Amino acid sequence: MNTAVLRRTAAISAVAAAFVLAVASPAAAHVTVNPSTATQGGYTKVSFRVPNESDTASTTKLEVNLPAETPIGSVSIKPVPGWTAVAEKTKLATPVEVHGSPLTEAVSKITWTASKDSEIKPGTFQEFDVSLGPLPEVDQMVFKALQTYSDGNIVRWIDEPTTDGTEPELPAPVLKLTAAGAEAAAPSAAADAPVAEEATEESSSGSSAWGIAGLVAGLAGLILGLLAYRKAAQKA
């Protein structure tokens, strides 16, 4: 009798613990480009934000590939203390015109490499700033990135956006581009900001509610198990 009760108690506790972990575990961070939107034909400064996801190794190198199909005429890199940046250029099969002048080569990849004391340690992140322009007249730019760790592991953030809107396993940083005329809609977007903020707060509250629900379920499972065990012990 006692053995059966103990098994049931263990099963209830295991289910409760699994549920708590499922609702409480955060989504994995990944390499992103910030801000995530810019204007076609204009210039912008973007930051490639690189979080360290390893518990034991540090990030030692970042490689960011610029899309070859939409070459950028001007690419400037902001120095990062303790990191060496190298921009590689590629000859263009077909020259493109930038500000009235033909462009025969363009930056195709930027590689940042850390000195020993400047690596991105576990639990920290680093940002790498780049000035780009003029931006192409396309809907988005996908920057495929490779993140190298001190233990030799390489994480390839190269998955392009999916057609159904779901996030791929290893998403590449994506810069959305809007037409210059779309700036006229900015006041309307600003007016809607409180609603968006409210929606964000509701989403955050919903996540917190699920987290609390998970903890309550876990505690309830433990309490039920203990009560069942005490009842069986008293009968014995």
Q: What is the pLDDT of residue 152?
A: 97
φ/ψ (deg, to 5) at 71: -65, 145
Nearest to 72 by CA among 157, 141, 139: 141
pLDDT class of 17 with cuts at 50, 70, 90: very low
Q: What is the pLDDT of residue 53?
A: 94
Contact 97, 103 (CB under 8 A): yes
Helix, strand, or coil (residue 48) = strand
Contact 118, 132 (CB under 8 A): no
Q: What share of the chain is helix, strand, coil (3-state, %, to 5)?
A: 35, 35, 30
| Residue 15, C-beta contacts closer than 8 angstroms, at least 6 positions apart | 221
Q: What is the pLDDT of residue 93?
A: 86
| Tens-digit pLDDT profile for residues 99-128 | 788 889 999 999 999 998 999 999 999 999
| Tens-digit pLDDT profile for residues 73-86 | 999 999 999 999 99
Please check the confidence at residue 20 and state whether its pLDDT lies above 90. no
Please check the confidence at residue 216 and state whether its pLDDT lies above 60. no
Q: What is the pLDDT of residue 134?
A: 94
Average pLDDT over residues 224-232: 57
Fold of 32-182: Immunoglobulin-like (2.60.40)
**Burial class for 12, CB neighbours closer than 10 Å (0-12, 13-18, 19+):** middle
Give the CA distances from residue 37 to residues 43, 174, 176, in Å, rounded to whole numbers and listed in that order.
12, 9, 5
| Tens-digit pLDDT profile for residues 145-199 | 999 999 999 999 999 999 888 989 999 999 999 998 765 554 554 445 454 444 3
| Residue 4, C-beta contacts closer than 8 angstroms, at least 6 positions apart | none
Q: What is the pLDDT of residue 96?
A: 81
Average pLDDT over residues 18-32: 54
Q: What is the pLDDT of residue 97?
A: 80
Helix, strand, or coil (residue 197) = helix
pLDDT class of 18 with cuts at 50, 70, 90: very low
Contact 140, 175 (CB under 8 A): yes
Q: What are the domain boundaries of the chain? A: 32-182
